[in-house]
Amino acid sequence: MKLYLVAGEASGDARGVELIRSLRARREGIEFRGFGGPQMAALAGPGAVHDWIARAGIIGVIDIVRNYGYFHRQFAVALKEIALEKPDAVVLIDYPEFNLQLAAALRKAGTKAKVIHYISPQVWAWNRRRIPKMARILDMMICIFPFETALYEQSGLKAVFVGHPMLDSLAEKRIDAGREENLLGLFPGSREREVRMIYPIMLETARLLAKTHPGLRIEAAASSEAMRDRMAEVASRYPDVACTVTVKQSHELMQRATAAMVASGTATLEAAYFGLPFVLLYKVAWLTFAVARRLIRVKWLGMPNILADREVVREFLQNDARPPAIAAELTKLLDQPGARTALQENLRTVITKLGDPGASGRAAEAILAAVAV
């Protein structure tokens, strides 16, 4: 059996590794090819997976336009390899901007491979009209949120809910450590643009909080050594803010901090899983925000709030991401144990909506069943 996998971000690389392991555990001799990150490349074998995460993992309309030539070339490579390799299935892992176009091109080319999308794109948030088109170009959608399957099945696309893979990956990251008093965690995101636009807001908010909380300690999480260097450049403009930066220790910090600021994204669900009292921040380029504002159909940006169908976690977005307002909300979490406990109870309820552990195993079984048909 041959499978061609395509992941375009660090999170997709992690999901791809889990999927490869689960597939190998269920069937011997599967050959893997495709695009992913360093983890997928190492696991699949020499030359089997193109490691393009460093270039592909960008965000925003402007970024995509600037890198159009690069993506066009990689798109052509993927189409050519799939035509030559003739895999039994093409498994598209998240990354919908690239992967849905690839699926459409494969369907147009008359591929005989099953075309499967793992981790549903959030079209339910910004463009549900795309779902009927997706039903024409995909053979199956593997969903990680329970409310997604009905949306796809209404359009005739087979959809399977497998649960959220985060439940497995984060279970291994639990530590026996209580929350440290007066420790404020900063989680500005894993992309350079997020650090550039969001980290300054976090540092300025921390400066305000330090004035009213003399014993406050500030610790930030960097996704890589390179991102730590970029964060240091930003922090040099705030010499009076004493902030320790750790690398690849975000999950540990989420379990130690009293309260935190978290950039929107996967980290919000991770923080919810670990019961971290936090507020959500996000800010992007004005053009990206203007486009998103016209398309987004949900009331909230953070997945914990979407799952709860109410604002469990306070959101500070774009022009509302102002340090004084954020500091006022964080003061409640830092000073009031009852406020922290109430938020933690709500977060526990949110996490129960993500299903049971074992998502990658169920996803592997769904893929093998689809190929067998």
Question: CA angle at residue 89 from 124 to 161, to 5 degrees?
Answer: 35
Asked if pLDDT for residue 115 goes beyond 60, the answer is yes
CATH of domain 183-352: 3.40.50.2000
Q: Sheet harboring 89-93: ordered strands across?
A: 49-51, 31-36, 2-7, 89-93, 114-118, 140-143, 159-161
Give the per-residue pLDDT at 10.
Answer: 84
How far is residue 149 from each of residues 154, 164, 196, measured CA to CA in Å? 9, 14, 36
CATH of domain 2-165+358-372: 3.40.50.2000
- Position 213 scores a pLDDT of 97
pLDDT value of residue 61: 56
Q: Is the pTM of this model over 0.75?
A: yes
Q: Where in the chain is the domain with CATH 3.40.50.2000?
A: 2-165+358-372, 183-352
Residue 290 confidence class, pLDDT cut points 50, 70, 90:
low
